[in-house]
Structure 1
Amino acid sequence: MTKFFLLLSAAAIAAPAHSQTSPDSDAPEVVVTATRAAQPLSEIGQAVTVIDRAEIERRQTTVLSDLLATTPGVTVTRNGTVGALTSVRIRGAEADQTLVVIDGVRVNDPSSTGGGFNFGNLLSSSVERIEVLRGPNSVPWGSQAIGGVVNIITAAPTEGVQARANAEYGYADSVFASAGVSGKSGPVSGSLTGGYLRTDGISSATSGTERDGYRQYGATGRVGVEFAPGIGLDLRGYFADSRVAIDGFPAPDYVFADTPEYSKTREAYGYAGLHANLADGRFNNRVAFTIADINRDNYDPSFGNDPSFIGRGRSERYEYQGDFRPLDQVRVVAGVEREDSRFNDGFTFADTGITSVYGQLIVKPLDVLTITGGVRNDDHDDFGSHTTFGANAALALRTGTTVRASYGEGFKAPTLYQLFSDYGNRDLDPETARNFDIGVEQAFLGNRARVGVTYFNRRTRNQIDFRDCSPSELTTPGSICANRPFGVYDNVARAEADGVEFTLALRPVDALTLTANYSYIDTENRSVGDDFGNDLARRPKQTASVNADYRFAFGLSVGGTVTVVGDSFDDVGNTTRLDGYALAGVRAELPICERFAVYGRVDNLTDTRYETIAGYGNYGRAAYGGVRLRLK
């Protein structure tokens, strides 16, 4: 922490700070992630962080996981170079227990072992807004939302024609460019954004010298048609094609090192929905069909031109949601869904489905008090029925004090790989979690300052893990290990996490903003065995981040970010330690005219060497510069 404060001082000299949510704003913040319906943040009893487009551009973010790593309660690990497998853990939960949604489409990969989402391919080109909900939230979202939900919202159509573009160049021959246009004419509105990134990267293996490059091109689009006031059609699409070089374990030593291997990923997500907002907005209805299709191919040229591994994952979802306000103080949000998913890894093809129904009651007995309660039932084709509950309350006093409390349950259905692969077990139960948290936030100095603190505790049960089978189990009739010499998936793991999250946002003058957060997360392996009581792997107990930005009267903006991550262990046995580290970065942007600006940044200013996964490297000091264009 001494290093943290030294680097904080350096960042403060370079520039005062900016927060992810400005403390000086009269407009109420509205979020959709808590109940899947638009709600003022002051009415939500759960912990939510909002990152908007202005913050993304101010921080000059290219890879969104770098931005998520500076939010409260979130830790990020990456397998080396940009574009490599990147995992996001919320409040110490497993990375596979983070639900990711893009424009209303659940995008977790059905073909991956644990059903997780690879944040390595998620770039900032088209992202307009990110909502990060911390804690289980399975009532509105269903399976996967044990750690929390990351809700990505891309650029929406605007009134009038607007366009923006940027291009930058920097370290490792990196080129990043994006452009977008949006507008509305009569009942038809639309937006289209495209992006491209190419970089030579770094060697993913710390022992390697060969750079592992990355390339992605992608696009997102939206179309809206209003047939009548409040009644219309919504179409959304997302496409990304990525290629990344990866390192492996070449013969004869089979030690992690440079290899010519590479991986290709193609992602396509789509949403088609109809909405009907009736009775002056008191009865809002939505029906939709969504699709997520992910194709992954790994290649090893030393063994030929054919893929050495393939993964084909696809999910299709049909859903209805109603939002009914019988009284100003009472709101009901309810829905029914059907999801069908399938996967193919070249050896196993499997599919399954889940039918769900949920309901949430939102009541305001007082103007300053909002109480929400909900229940959900999921009927899985293979493991049966599961019911989830949740409740929260928010008390927003006129003194600037907001008190929040919540109880949430989460569950995660076994993945198709865990059920049907050669290591699968069709008798698996879903993973479950129970979480409660309580927090208070205080605004003062005319809402130019806010401080907050939240305590949480989460217990996870029936966690699915891969386990080896003993020789006696292999020959025991009826054992799940019978004839499974290489092991099997089973409900063998338990875990507990509790911690505290602190946040601070200041805007003492209009030109200066500062935000900071600190998280203490204590995770413990509660599984019976040799690892009982150990820390969970790759979960640092302490993380902290400070952001500062200052805008001079003549237009120049300067800023800095300091992030500190504490020590952790790379393995469940807690034998391989990952040392903590501190990173500092500075940035600046100068408008040349009303529509044109130049910008630049230096990441990892002190050229710190660190690992988030043992044996995998990370970027040292790196500089980038670019231009930005806006047309309105």
Structure 2
Amino acid sequence: MTKYVFLLTASAIPGAALAQDSTEDALAEIIAAQDAGEPADQANYGQPPRGQVEPVPVVDEPAASITVTANGLGTDIRNTGQPVTVIAREEIVSVQGADPTRVLARVPGLTFSRNGGVGGFTGVNLRGAGSEQVLVLVDGVPVADPSAPAGGFDFGSLLTGTASKIDVLRGSNSTIWGSDAIGGVIDISTRADTGFQGSLEAGSRGSVFASALGGVSDDKFYVGLTGSWYATDGFSSAANGVEDDGFTQMATGITAFYDVADNLELSGHLNMSESQLDIDGFPAPFFALADTGETQKTLRYWGDIGLSYYGTDLTLRARYSRADTDRTNRAEDRTVAFESKGQMERADIRGEYRLVGGLTAAFGYDYQRNQYETTFDQFAQADIQGVYAQMGWVMGNHSVHAGARVDDHDYFGSETSFGADASYVLSNGWRVRASVGEGFKAPSLFQLFSDYGNRALEPEQSTSVDIGIETGRRNSGRYFSLTAFRRDSENLIDFVFCTGVAPTPCSPGQFGTYDNVERARSQGIEAEAGINLTSDLRLSGVYSLVDAEDRMTGNELARRPRNFGTFFADWQSQFGLSLGADLRIVGDSFNDAGNFTPIDGYELVDLRASFDFGDNFEVFGRVENVFDTEYETVTGYGTPGTGVFAGVRARM
């Protein structure tokens, strides 16, 4: 598959990488001042300073983690009752490698399945929700493929070279985000740093991964350039195959912002990438997964243009965004077997008005148009627009939010979503939190308009609740978090055959179609902990118990392991040497909805090391799957054995 990504973004909202960085720095400064017992400058709420901000020193306290997934604007993670995990660039770098699943494995409640190696289709599940029920954003732009059958996002096309932060909210939140936010929201921010940074690594299976970033700035502007290259010979996607299936991806991008006035900001991105994936197919006469010479080429681009206003009491952020995904599959003789084109256009405005006494009113409006066409389906489109309002109160140790949203769709009409959360910090440093949220997912264009389509489909719907307790910060000192959750989903869309169904949802000539026939429930617990055993050694881990059930049949949902977790240790010497180890444990699951084909659980061990030569140069390496464990995440598809990788990184 060749993967092009042309990203054109000019945004002044926190969703844009640079605007987000400057806004988050300002908010972190205010929070640090509050933690230190100093009065925060209220003017900073309205007019956050641009560029890098020197935080107020706070002894033994790391910088505040800022999340955009909880409220769409950016808030201290401690001011929301929703469960959120934020993974910063430093942790992404320490884990090493281009594969994002190595980092995502540290998020509670998150599992994934992959068809083959890096670059193959990769679906991410949150708390048992389907991969198409997770809203994925890059710099605040929805990047799901409108031409995909269920309209989901393929994490196989996302590598870590340009990512600065991964922000994951677990739980339904269509109140803020609209369609697709049933299982949760994942926002990936791209890098926007000054100076120069570069890295190069090579290793097993002929793999090479290089990335670089350079940026300059002054008080009024920033311009940065990023680039990355990944190539691997891979291994056979078919577990019983012998022919390697390779993957390559090239990406380059430019980011810029400019202060039009003291309280008005414009920013932008321009990114491109190219990639190629070899895939295995289902050749005659057995039509079972086996070695073939098929390839898939994908052109993807997304971006936004916008403007932000920072007033004393009012913040407004408006933008236009677009995301395109074009795919071409070729057979062994290089003829085109299948083509698809999906496009999303979106205009939105978000705002927040600060009232009095910690009371705020957040509001927003968005209009989105999805379009698609394929080799077998004519051009079609559907529009959806929504408006929301949320009241919030943050005062001292208390934080409460409640809001509602109304969406209107061309075909299914209106959908209303509610959400609320609360957080309270106890005197001993523990924090209790709780949230309730509703989610919905509009039918995909394929489900509505293809030869199997049904234009009478209703949206999928969910209600999730959770309650948790935690203490400390995720990457510092003593940390513990325990969350119990439950999500009920109904009106889930599934494929049905026309025979034997009364009344039939089928149109004349159809032998099968899509219909709202399924219900599901997912419930369980998520635990996360970390402790510094010494000043140099830290142990951390996440564990999740997720019971995901099809409520129509009583079966387990396919490819949703009941038990899974990641445990990792990091040792930092006083002379520049760092060592790390990761243990991933995944329990048994089933490959199919009927629970006929089991997938055995597995354990994987990775080892990491790095050494700093001064402040500007580092060598690093790792061994993946140390014990060469054989395992599957999708029945019939191969997975990598032991791999050894080494590289260098420079900063100036």
TM-score normalized with structure 2 length: 0.89
> How far is the alpha carbon of 1:444 from its aligned partner?
10
Q: Distance in 1 between matches of 2:631 and 2:65?
A: 37
Deviation at 1:37, TM superposition (A): 1.4
CA contact (8 A) 2:468 2:484 kept: yes
What residue number does 1:463 align with? 492
Select 2:535's aligned residue among 510, 525, 547: 510
- SS in structure 1 at match of 2:243: coil
Is the Cα contact below 8 Å between 1:400 and 1:444 reproduced in 2?
Answer: no
Partner residue of 1:204? 237
**Equivalence map 1:270-349=2 (5 Å):** 270-279=303-312, 282-302=313-333, 305-346=334-375, 347-349=377-379
Distance 1:410 1:595 in 2: 46
Deviation at 1:446, TM superposition (A): 13
Secondary structure (helix, strand or coil) at the match of 2:336 reads coil
Q: CA deviation at 1:483?
A: 2.7
| Aligned pairs (5 A) from 1:399-414 | 399-414=428-443
> Take 2:597 and 2:271, find their aligned partners in 1: how far apart are those partners?
39
Structure 2 distance, partners of 1:89, 1:103, is 20
Matches of residues 20-99 of structure 1 in structure 2 within 5 Å?
25-99=61-135
Instruction: Tell whether 2:572 aligns with 1:567.
Output: no
The residue that corresponds to 2:153 in the other structure is: 117
- Does 1:450 find its partner at 2:486? no
2:624 pairs with one of 603, 606, 612: 603
Say yes or no: does 1:146 pair with 2:177.
Answer: no
Alpha-carbon shift at residue 313 of structure 1 (Å): 0.6
**Counterpart residue identity of residue 250, structure 1:** P
Question: Does the 8 Å contact 2:452/2:510 carry over to 1?
Answer: no
Measure the CA separation in 2 of the matches of 1:553 and 1:81.
37
Q: 1:221 and 1:432 mapped to 2: Cα distance?
A: 39
Report the CA distance shift for 1:314/1:78 in structure 2 as closer, same or farther (over 3 A): same
* Percent identity over paired residues: 41
- 1:162 paired with 2:195, answer yes
Which one of 330, 350, 368 corresponds to residue 380 of structure 2?
A: 350
* Amino acid in structure 2 at the alignment position of 1:570: N
Change (3 A) 1:611 1:445: closer
**What is the deviation of 1:447?**
6.9
Q: What SS does structure 1 have at the residue aligned with 2:403? A: strand
Q: Could you tell me how far 1:592 is from its partner in structure 2?
A: 2.4
Q: What's the CA shift for 1:188? A: 1.5
Alpha-carbon shift at residue 482 of structure 1 (Å):
4.0
Out of 485, 507, 516, the residue aligned to residue 491 of structure 1 is: 516
The C-alpha deviation readout for 1:124-176, integer Å capped at 9, x for no partner, is 111000011001111111000101111100112x4xx4110000100110110
Question: How many residues matched?
Answer: 593
Corresponding residue SS for 1:301: coil
2:546 matched to which residue of 1? 521
After TM superposition, give the deviation of residue 24 of structure 1 in Å: 5.8
SS of residue matched to 1:258: strand
Q: Which runs of 5+ in 2 are unaligned?
A: 1-58
Which AA in structure 2 matches 1:312?
K
Q: 1:213 and 1:335 mapped to 2: Cα distance?
A: 44
CA distance in 2, matches of 1:570, 1:52: 33
Paired residues for 1:121-136 under 5 Å: 121-136=157-172
How many Å separate the matches in 1 of 2:605 and 2:237? Answer: 21
Correspondences of 1:530-545 after superposition (within 5 Å): 532-545=553-566
Cα separation, 2, equivalents of 1:447 and 1:99:
29
Task: Provide closer, same or farther for how the CA distance between residues 223 and 445 of structure 1 changes in structure 2, counting only shifts above 3 A.
Answer: closer
Q: Distance in 2 between matches of 1:358 and 1:463?
A: 24
| Structure 1 unaligned blocks of 5 or more | 1-22
Structure 2: how far apart are the matches of 1:333 and 1:565? 40
Q: Which residue of structure 1 aligns with residue 408 of structure 2?
A: 379
Give the corresponding residue for 2:446.
417
Q: Equivalent residue for 2:282?
A: 249
Q: 2:391 aligns with which of 337, 361, 371?
A: 361
Q: Alpha carbon RMSD of aligned pairs, Å?
A: 1.7
Equivalent in the alignment of 1:6: none
User: What is the rounded CA distance, in whole Å, between the counterparts of 2:405 and 2:467 in structure 1?
Assistant: 23
Note closer, same or farther for the CA distance 1:399–1:221 as it changes in structure 2 (3 Å cut): farther
Q: In the aligned structure 2, how far is the partner of 1:448 from the partner of 1:321?
A: 36
How does the TM-score come out when normalised to structure 1? 0.91
**2:505 matches 1:480:** yes
